Amino acid sequence: MTTPNWHELLTDLNFYTGSYPEQALSAALTHPQVSRAPLLAELAACASDPTPRTDDDEGWMLHLYAMHLLAAQRDTEAFAPLLAIARLDGEVLEQLLGDHLTEGLPRALAATCPAGEEVQLQALANDASCYLWSRSAALRALALRALEGDYPREALLSWLKTECEREADRMVDGGLRPEQGTDTDHLSELVITLEEIGASELAESVQAWFDDGLIDDSFTKPEDCMVRLQRDWATCQADELAHGWGYPRDILGEISRWTCFHPDEDDEEMDEDDAPKQEPVVRDAPKVGRNDPCPCGSGKKYKKCCGAG
């Protein structure tokens, strides 16, 4: 097999071209001796100077490909720049990563975290100066590492117990309620993580936090939360790793399904005379956001249930 030239691959990978760059991505994935160094360099550059990559007119894509390809290879060298990216300003992150902030980033952090370095994810999750969804990504990454067998459940549970109690005390002492803003949503995110690992040991405490109004029930309903907390470990692993939520194992297939490579049918070219009159879209139910509860009633967020595909 001919070794690819990185500069030729970059032609298809640097910016959005309108089509799925299958050959270039496949070559980058199967020839890490060619792609690894420039992909790592792209993540480092993204962390230090994200501005060019947030320009919609440019359609920069390389940082997204780098995050996913290096995660698929479990490349621990990618962990530090990914952490640095996660600590960027929230508005910048929304422009930089879009839905990848709550979908791709947690999995990439989990897959690239070196063994024994979970403390760095804990530090990100605890950092109130960071964007809420970056802190959430760190929590998801910790849960994912436990579910994948790379981080002891008992260690995660012990840390979560301490953090939940600390955050609950902070909210009580400050007279805070979750509806007051993102600074008060952290306990709700911590409880979601407890659900993910079936932390029945803390069910009584969680119920008390619900009763005290410290948890936003738009994140998780009390009755659904109690059911999920009581799941055994095998069920947690089966449920939480479904929908491709585990480590990236078919990254080319995943990227090929990105929305940007499947424009809506309404955007397809058609003869102007043959085009039917467009009627307004009428929804049977309100639009579901990626972090809203799934309408199927599972108790999970939409992004991790019916919206995961």
pLDDT digits (tens, 9 = 90+) for 116-126: 999 999 999 99
For position 14, what pLDDT does the model report? 96
In this prediction, residues 99-112 reach a mean pLDDT of 95
Which one is predicted more confidently, 302 or 50? Answer: 50
* DSSP states along 125-188: HH-TTS-HHHHHHHHHHHHHHHHTTSS-HHHHHHHHHHHHHHHHHHHHHHT--GGG-GGG-HHH
pLDDT-based confidence at 181, cuts 50/70/90? Answer: low
pLDDT-based confidence at 58, cuts 50/70/90? Answer: confident
For position 219, what pLDDT does the model report? 85
- pTM equals 0.85
Residues 132/91, Cβ–Cβ less than 8 Å: no
Residue 298 has pLDDT above 60, yes or no: no
Residue 309 has pLDDT above 50, yes or no: no
> pLDDT by residue (tens digit) across 225-276?
999 999 999 999 999 888 778 999 999 999 999 999 987 644 444 444 444 4
> pLDDT by residue (tens digit) across 128-166?
999 999 999 999 999 999 999 999 999 999 999 999 999
For the chain, what percent of residues have pLDDT higher than 90? 75
Residue 55 has pLDDT above 50, yes or no: yes
Residue 108 has pLDDT above 70, yes or no: yes
Which one is predicted more confidently, 292 or 256? Answer: 256
Residues 215/179, Cβ–Cβ less than 8 Å: no
The beta-carbon contacts of 39-43 under 8 Å, at least 24 apart in sequence, are 39/65, 39/66, 39/69, 39/70, 39/78, 40/66, 40/70, 40/75, 40/77, 40/78, 40/81, 42/66, 43/67, 43/70, 43/78, 43/81, 43/82, 43/85
For position 280, what pLDDT does the model report? 33
For Cα atoms 117, 71, 152, give the angle at the middle one, nearest 5 degrees: 35
34-43, 68-77, 100-109, 284-293: the lowest-pLDDT one: 284-293
For position 266, what pLDDT does the model report? 42
For position 64, what pLDDT does the model report? 97
Residue 43 has pLDDT above 70, yes or no: yes
